Amino acid sequence: MALIENLQRKHSMSDGESSCDASRSTTSGIERSRSSGTGNSTNSNRTGETTDDDLNTIKNSLAKQETRQVFRLRIIVVLLLVAAATSISLAVFFITKNAEEEEFEAQFDGVANKILDHFEQIMIEMSAVSGLAVAGTTFLQQLKALYATLPDDITPAFPIDWPFVTTPSFQERVGNVRSLSGSIYVSINPIVTQEELPLWESYVQSKANKWIDEGLAFQEVQGLNDFDDPKRTAESKLTADKVNPLHTYDSLGKPMLSRADGPFLPRWQTSPILETSMINENLFEDKNIAHVARECIETHSAVLGGFVVSEPGSTSHPNPTTSFFATLRSMWEGKQVDYLGDPMAYLAMPIFNKLNGADREVVGVLLSTIHWRWYLRGILPKTNHGVQVVLENKCDGNFTYLLEGEEAYVVGFGDLHDKKFNEYHHMGTFKTEVIKDGTAAGVPLNQEGCPYTFHVYPTEADSEHYMTNDPIIIGVSVAAVFLFTLIMFFTYDALVERRQRLVLAKATQSTALVSSLFPKQVRDRLMAMETDKRKGDAMIAPSHRLKTFVNGLGQDSGDQPIADFFPNCTVCFANIAGFTAWSSTREPAQVFVLLQTVYQNFDIIAKRRRVFKVETIADSYLAVTGLPGT
């Protein structure tokens, strides 16, 4: 102990003097004992001891640079994965979504065009109906030609001219026409003047009305005579005759004699024939027909009227219009059905007294009843998932239908389509200007009064069939793949981090051991040299290092010894005199106690005196003072 104190005092006597003393003293012990030290980190370094703060400093020094680089790389990889997942998922989503939208739009365009084409063909199909007017005029001309060949003493009971014309085989002929045109009711209605009315009343009660029995017999074979309501049939009779006198109906649907002044427009030949006595009804007194018929007569053109509607009901409904429409629908479909309250329309076409000529006159009106819903049925295939059709009439507003598969359903009055599908709107009108009737001129179609427009829109069900959740599912699946990759990356990173912590712990222990053997300056230089060596090795190809070694051109700078010159220092190397002989006669425990006691006290004094203990070798103690940092 006194030796170390003298060593310190000797060093402090002169700044420019250096010496090296070797002293020996006698004690016992076989191993160096080291004090844990309770002072600050500076004192610990100077005495060769390493505290927890030193370990943390060493650990941070080793890990700081590489941890920063790894952290940057980790952030870059994560950002790249997130960016790739987001961009690719969104790209897949929008590509798939756009493909579905294009498929949906293409499919709907085809459906809408098919519906509009079908509507636009309605007036073309009505050429079959208009042919009935020509047939009546042609029959009259043939009849006149026949009577012209007869002797003068043969005179007909009624004039061979309009309105006294009855087309033969009318029911058979019109049955085919109705099937082709889709008209659920057709009637020929001649114009009768006030002067012709008495003769007309006689005419309808003559053999001319035999077409009624013939028509009913034809319908009986088809099973169409069972849909008239017997009560209404009985109430419709004004007389016991087969045909009522010219009549009309009150607001309750009760028949009454016509009180109007001529001209008159009596309903004459009809198809189908209803047992309810509607024949010889003056249509000029029917508010739903009168204006259409008058416009047809005045303009010499076909006129399509506005919506004709009534409350829903069956054939026995007290409202005569409801009962009439329900009966027509039942006879058309061949089974008992109700009228649903959806619009009908009347198409009035003129009947001329001759086939051609600018001077021809209108002598009657051919009236066709159009059921719009029937035209919508059967247009689309069964696989269709729903389309909305809005029928617009300028005079009466809008009515909406729903088409699902082959069926057409009533939605209601007004434009009730889903407004979110406005961008898919398709619109059409009647493009026919002339209805061909077999004559050269045809019949012009007057659309100036209450023109019709057809609007077609897709439905939510149709949209959902094509606009599925597949884009979201596919996009999320792609994102899930990247998420799984990200999870695997973090898992791998955690495993690597764990391995790095183990390596760092071992490196810290190794560095702590080095720190306990060398002063701080030497330790830092060793670590710096090792770092430079790793960088240099990374820059030099292995083949070059092997060639340098084989040729003996030198060794790496990292293998050069650390040797510094310090002129003002003192090195002490002390051992115990006679220790070898003494220890050979002692128990190992006694030797250990001796060395532990001596070295422990040496360490305490060295720490207090700022002497750096280099090493203990058996009974030898190596220390130095006067070095920088000690």
CB under 8 Å to 423, separation ≥6 — which residues?
Answer: none
Distance, CA of 519 to CA of 521 (rounded, Å): 6
Q: What's the token pair of residue 392? A: 């617009």
CB under 8 Å to 104, separation ≥6 — which residues?
Answer: 458, 462, 463, 466, 467
What DSSP assignment string belongs to 535-546? HHHHHS-HHHHH
Determine the number of helices (DSSP H) and then strands (DSSP E) in the chain: 18, 18
Give the pLDDT of residue 344.
93
Q: Are the CB atoms for 278 and 267 separated by under 8 Å?
A: yes
What DSSP assignment string belongs to 449-493? SS-EEEEEEE-HHHHHHHS-SHHHHHHHHHHHHHHHHHHHHHHHH
CA distances from 562 to 391, 468, 617 (A): 102, 75, 22
Domains (range + CATH), the chain: 2-48+519-625 (no CATH), 121-463 (3.30.450.350)
Distance, CA of 219 to CA of 528 (rounded, Å): 115
Give the pLDDT of residue 42.
36
Give the pLDDT of residue 313.
93
CA distances from 154 to 146, 149, 157, 475, 530 (A): 12, 10, 10, 92, 142
Could you say which residues of the chain have pLDDT below 50? 1-50, 538, 549, 554, 557-558
Helix axes 52-120, 470-517, angle to 10 degrees: 170
pTM of the model: 0.67
Q: Among candidates 576, 583, 582, which has minimal Cα distance to 617?
A: 576
Give the pLDDT of residue 186.
93
Distance, CA of 399 to CA of 378 (rounded, Å): 19
Q: Which helix (H) or strand (E) holds 351?
A: strand 344-352
Q: Are the CB atoms for 596 and 33 separated by under 8 Å?
A: yes
Give the pLDDT of residue 146.
85
Q: Partners of 388 in the beta sheet?
A: 402, 457
Per residue in 132-165, pLDDT (tens digit) is 888 888 888 888 888 888 787 777 889 999 999 9
Give the pLDDT of residue 55.
57
Per residue in 331-367, pLDDT (tens digit) is 998 899 999 999 999 999 999 988 888 888 999 999 9
Give the pLDDT of residue 177.
83
Render the burial of 567-602: b for 16+ CB within 10 Å, e for the rest.
eebbbbbbbbeebeebbeeeeeeebbbbbbebbeeb
